Structure 1
Amino acid sequence: GDIFDIQQPSAASKRAFNEYFVDIHNVCPQMRLIITAGNHDSASRIQADNAIWKLGDAHLIGTPPPSDATEHQDWEKDFVVALDSGYVIALPYMANERTSTVQALLDYVAKVNVEQKPVVLMGHLAVIDPGIRYAESDTDDKAFRDLDIGNLRTQSVDSLGVGYDYAALGHIHKPQTIGYPQDCFKLDVTYPSGVVRYSGSALHVSCDETFPHTISIVEMQRRGGDVRIRQHEIKQLRHFYVLPKDGAFDSADKALEAIADFAKTEGKGYIRLRIKHDVMLPSDFNQRVYDHLSTYDDEVRYNPKHIWTDAPVAVAESPRPMFDVADLQQMTNPLDFIEKTIDQYPGLDIDTLRDAFKKIEEELSIIKEEETKKSKKK
């Protein structure tokens, strides 16, 4: 799932995707490729290419089963891929919990799987194990609450039904086996049948993903047999770094010096800054960073979302300002509202905002003058 990060990917992204999987097919033509859409993809666009991809022994499944799928004949064949070595139930992202639909597919496979081959279930969703508490206190009423993970509502692992040996899930980037949090980064583990696992993303996709990224090789011999999972770490060409390695910057100049030193010594990577809460960065700080790094041909990338440290501990949460509708209607300048609520946004540079608004007002004034001149000429 999540073949692309947007529903209308660029031509360059689609070309890269096509060429990559064509290369894989050429290297290993006997391998079946099964690709499903995620919540970031356009289901219909992915599905539209399926007929062409089948010519290369690849399956692109974008559109999920309709809500009344079980009332139609042979609908299961659109989502079940029969292999010499087993069966794959390939389900793309589905907006709602569809336990009955999933179980119907598992039951269908159980009927045709007379040789008791392994069964794999694919899905793009966020599941939790009802046997694991998600709160610190055993008395917390929210200990078993549903969680929102990346805009997807979590559902119980039980909603996946019964009848698979391995459930291969997408959406969560960290490799993990549901029910076995201690095994996240073990290189070789064997489980009994019924494993639910996120293999995770092969590459870092954000600065917060400092954990190792891997691919998983899953081995199964028969339906109901053991499931062996081997992980191979992917060595990243570009790493994420937080500067400084220890502590936090106490001035903008020190941060700029560290960035220059990193670019000179490391030469490539993604960087993010850790800065003390009371440091006031100049309004052009980010631009100065970009200007300096521009000489490195995009080998060093800068994330302007800083990590602020040493913030004063609030004794009690200050009450948020309340406004009447009439008060808001009188605030014709957005800065008026921001200045009245500035205490709610620690680290916000009001001077930077003022400069930005001033430039916008000047540009709007110029545009208005040009439009007035054009209208007079007419």
Structure 2
Amino acid sequence: MTSMATRPPTGPPRRGALRDRLLRIAGAVTTPLLPEDYLDLVDPLRSGAALRGRILAVQPQTRDAATLTVRPGRGWLGHLPGQYVRLGVDVDGVRQWRAYSVTSAPQDRGATIQVTVKAIPDGVVSNHLVRRIRPGTIVQLDQAQGDFVLPPVVPQTILFLTAGSGITPVMGMLRSGAYRDRDVVLVHCAPTADDVIFGAELRDLAGRGAIRLVERHTDADGQLTVDDLADLVPDHLDRETWACGPVGLLDAVEGHWAAHQRTDRLHTERFRPTIVATGEGGEVTFTEAGVSVTSDGATPILDAAEAAGVLMPSGCRMGICYGCVLPLREGAVRDLRDGALTTAVPGDGVLIQTCVSAAAGACHIDH
């Protein structure tokens, strides 16, 4: 009896195998870039890509504030009312990250979100977002963060105490229905009536009896003090309170609640800007390695690290292959090719090419 060898099937290749083969071929053709880099150009919000969002609309709120409507990519996991999202935007060739409260109510995945930005004097990112950004722009996103949120069981009596852009996380709570069947008082401070962000919407809620709104127009009435609260909201210490605004106001509020042993009823959110000092050279800290090295403004961070004994990822050493990319957690670096400055505040994790970037002040590299 003659045995016959089993022949492999000759049908069409499996879809997954064919896809993998095509990606390998595409990778060979597009080197040093990856096929994903080109897919990002065609469909930047696709599933599996780094989380991004597309600006759909920019709606002015006041003379120095605007609401951005953003469609997040498919990886967006949603948010809780009061949380914030870190947004990365390229301004004059430098990627900057800032955190902004989500002012829209949570919706089903795939829906849009809104963030409301107040331009501050000399604020590079805030002024860009309020005055220059246009619909269609792609921005970087992180998942929503923050614990300045309402508990699962909303208290019966609530005080919201806000000033300026401090209204933004509270607006997300109000739009989510925090006032329904509740006794809600909102005390809000702004220079004038026209400077009240969401002024028309808040006054409409008050007019319908959904909340009690107390506006303090500081240009005419002066700054709000904790002593004023006894008259404005006599039972303020008995209410569960969420306060958000300038550091001075929150310091006074925290001290007042502590003096009356009511800190368990107070929740605060601080908008504290971080100033990144830039210059020529500086101390570079590699957080995981626990090594710090002083580097001048002309030496690539990759070279400075290796000279200090830090094992670094690398490749072409020319800024082409992206084999040396690491997250900049905090500080500033300068691109040695064109002088472009990249800055990051704590927790940003902005990706930089260490072979063509030099320290432009103290900086921390996640490695």
* TM-score between the two structures when normalised by the length of structure 1: 0.29
**Larger RCO: 1 or 2 (CA < 8 Å, sep 6+):** 2
Larger relative strand fraction: 2
